[in-house]
Chains A and B, each alone.
Chain A
Amino acid sequence: MPIWIDPEKCNGCYNSRQPPCVRMCPGDLIVKDMLTHKASLKYVNDCWDCLPCVKVCPEEAVEFHLSAQFGEKGARLIPHVHKTRDQITWELIDIADKKEMFTIQTKIMAVSLDEPIEGVSPAPDFTI
């Protein structure tokens, strides 16, 4: 499974109807269960591995995994978006547990926890 959403960490972005991971998936593959308040990857086989869902999660609950057919799943790659939003630090841990950090300049746009759908909903019934 290319990504996995840790149910321990996922808080469903409170009462957001469409949390960032749901909105930012270009394949419309992630859904939030409004009863359990957890998001999950509904269509596992349709994932492109493009990672917006991983980067926009405010709880860092979306983990990036390598599909098992590509080798050892123990290696980890975790992006940390800086609060200043102009840098992203990637934490890479290989199978020998060696850690490497890469800090890259970028310009990360703020992503709100929910937003109205143009033409559908006037505004989310939602406050932070």
Chain B
Amino acid sequence: MIERKVIDTDILIIGGGTAGCMAAVEAKERNPHLTVTILEKAHIDRSGCLAGGMNAINAYINAGETVDRFVSYVRDDACGLIREDLVRSMAEEFEYAVKKVEKWGLPILLDDQGRYVKRGRWNIKINGESLKPILAQAARQAGTRIYNWVVVTDLLTDGNRVVGAAGFSLRHSLFYIVRAKATLVSTGGAARLYRANNRDDAAYKTWYCPYNTGAGYAVGIRSGAEMTSFEMRYVALRTKDTIAPTGTIALGVHAPQVNALGERFMATRYAHLGGDGAPTPYRTYGPLQEIKEGRGPVYLDTRGLSPDQVRELKAAYLDMYPSMVLYWAANGIDPSKTAIEVETTEPYIVGGHCQSGYWVDANRKTTLEGLYAAGDVAGGAPFKFVSGCWAEGVLAARAMGIAIREMPYPTVSETQMAQIETRIFTPLRRHGTLRYAVKPAELEARLQKIMEQYAGGRATYYEMNAAMLSIARIQLAALPDATERLVADDLHQLMKAHEVMDRIDVAQVLVEHLLYREETRWPSYQTRTDFPERDDVHWLKFVNSKRNPQTGAIEMFTRPPSP
């Protein structure tokens, strides 16, 4: 009934997003004879983080700045801990990547002298409503084979070597086996591990793309890849209700944060850390403390903006987050008269803002042979945003092209294919056969309840201690048993079933990371009430993990910051 489709390719890219499209083009340009295949969970034209558009490139070396200064800024912003080699190598490719996408048709705003318009120190303004279809078209025109609506669930392995990936089609009863000489994971990070800010028909109104459900991490975790820094979660400061990015206001029109008393608390209470320019975790931690201590709500003070500035602000949101503009219209809010309230989101696991992800070398190769990682799934290099993901896609593609020279196509054993096929389709086959079935949404609710309450969710101001995390560990350990009763009644629900199974694997690793780091390095992202201070003597190093593919045991260890 389920048809098998076996594909051989030189390079397989899992996830046709920011990093994936760029990698595909780079690989084909360097060697047009290579076959490059993208497996994409949605449709490549409008999938993932960039579906709605983007109004700025937030990592760019503007005139007068240097790569050295960028690396130093990123180190300070990440509270001292980064892989400098990775941040440097990506920064060196910003110019190459941005120029390339501009050539493909991305409108970048220019001043009257033809220079890019700065939005902040490391930012330039774009009209990026169509950024994603522009990237997709470039990948298509480069000759990439693109399979839309394929949900990847497992890596194919031959010993310690990754030899492709397997998954299923969302449109037909198809089981995909893609055998590849080199495989790039570029799926994006993980949203919806924790309860979100809104409910009901706005439950998915999250900042991070809610369809990025950690599949890229999960496939690596299950195959024993080394992961880093999951404990550096990302908690975003966003506009109240609509969860729209605040950089558009804070950087675009220079609005400072104020509390209910009108105090510029960042400038006063956090002056020693740089005030409004304090490291990003503190710009989330600061407002949270105001609210916790009774001086909330917290606002971005837009009062006094000129009518032109308000129009400019609205236009900027229309390029990326149109619901912000509709929200103001619906609630009679004029940003020049009313300050814009902000709130903090649920925690996400992302390697692009923070640095959770695969432990990679300078070529973005993971600890598994044949497997590379770029974008939000790649660890150690925060402050990537869009252009850093492009840069990593470029770097990985160049390295893969060289690594696979003269390599024969790999083979995959029938046993392995059969095992994966069974694992994939069991929730569908089980449908209607169980008295106490579990639906994907029910299991997700259980996962999010545990994470929210015991692993530093919004309910506890993101704070946690060893006792709480130990409860999270115990409760999460029971969830894989519940997946034995997980059912799906169609292919869409089968995708939801795998998304929740992936997130359980990610959440278990996350909790181990949170337990292991016995200090508070990134307040709000990682606040340990039992170890409230930053401890550079013992913890200025990476916390890494590896799950044993046979036993499922998660091994924790540390690595020095710059190898």
Which residues of A pack against B, CB within 8 Å? 1-2, 23-28, 43-52, 55, 64, 66-77, 79, 88, 90, 92-96, 100, 102, 104-109, 111, 117-120
Instruction: Tell me which residues across on chain A come within 8 A of B250, comparing CB atoms.
Output: none
Minimum CB–CB distance from A55 to chain B (whole Å) comes to: 8
Instruction: Tell me which residues across on chain A come within 8 A of B51, comparing CB atoms.
Output: 26, 48, 50, 52
> Which of B318, B326, B332 is close to A66, meaning CB atoms less than 8 Å apart?
B326
Minimum CB–CB distance from A97 to chain B (whole Å) comes to: 10
Contact A92 B325 (CB under 8 A): yes
Contact A70 B329 (CB under 8 A): no
Contact A120 B45 (CB under 8 A): no
Of A49, A66, A76, A88, which is in contact with the most chain B CB atoms at under 10 Å from its CB? A49
- Interface residues in B47-73 by Cβ distance below 8 A to A read 47-48, 51-52
> Which of A25, A75, A88, A102 is close to B311, meaning CB atoms less than 8 Å apart?
A102
B198-206, B348-356, B506-514, B515-523 - the one binding chain A: B198-206
Contact B46 A24 (CB under 8 A): yes
- Interface residues in B311-363 by Cβ distance below 8 A to A read 311, 314-315, 318-319, 322-323, 325-332
Minimum CB–CB distance from A126 to chain B (whole Å) comes to: 16
> Which of B46, B48, B171, B202 is close to A120, meaning CB atoms less than 8 Å apart?
B171
**Whole-angstrom CA separation of A120 from B176 in the bound complex:** 11
Contact A77 B46 (CB under 8 A): no
Which residues of B pack against A, CB within 8 Å? 5, 7, 42-43, 45-48, 51-52, 105-107, 127, 129-130, 133-134, 137, 145-149, 169-172, 174, 176, 198-206, 209-211, 241-242, 311, 314-315, 318-319, 322-323, 325-332, 492, 495
Contact A118 B148 (CB under 8 A): yes
Majority SS at the chain A contact face:
loop
**Whole-angstrom CA separation of A24 from B44 in the bound complex:** 8
Instruction: Tell me which residues across on chain A come within 8 A of B129, comparing CB atoms.
Output: 55, 88, 104, 106, 108
Task: Given the known inter-chain contacts A24-B43, A70-B330, A73-B330, please indicate yes or no for A48 contacting B127, CB distance below 8 A.
Answer: no
Contact B330 A95 (CB under 8 A): yes
Contact B133 A47 (CB under 8 A): no
Contact A27 B242 (CB under 8 A): no
Task: Given the known inter-chain contacts A66-B326, A73-B330, A111-B45, please indicate yes or no for A48 contacting B205, CB distance below 8 A.
Answer: yes
Task: Given the known inter-chain contacts A66-B326, A75-B326, A94-B332, please indicate yes or no for A48 contacting B319, CB distance below 8 A.
Answer: no
Minimum CB–CB distance from B266 to chain A (whole Å) comes to: 27
Instruction: Tell me which residues across on chain B come within 8 A of A94, comparing CB atoms.
Output: 328-330, 332
Minimum CB–CB distance from B519 to chain A (whole Å) comes to: 35
Task: Given the known inter-chain contacts A2-B201, A71-B327, please indicate yes or no for A119 contacting B174, CB distance below 8 A.
Answer: yes
**Whole-angstrom CA separation of A46 from B205 in the bound complex:** 8
> Which of A27, A72, A77, A102 is close to B204, meaning CB atoms less than 8 Å apart?
A27
Instruction: Tell me which residues across on chain A come within 8 A of B149, comparing CB atoms.
Output: 28, 117
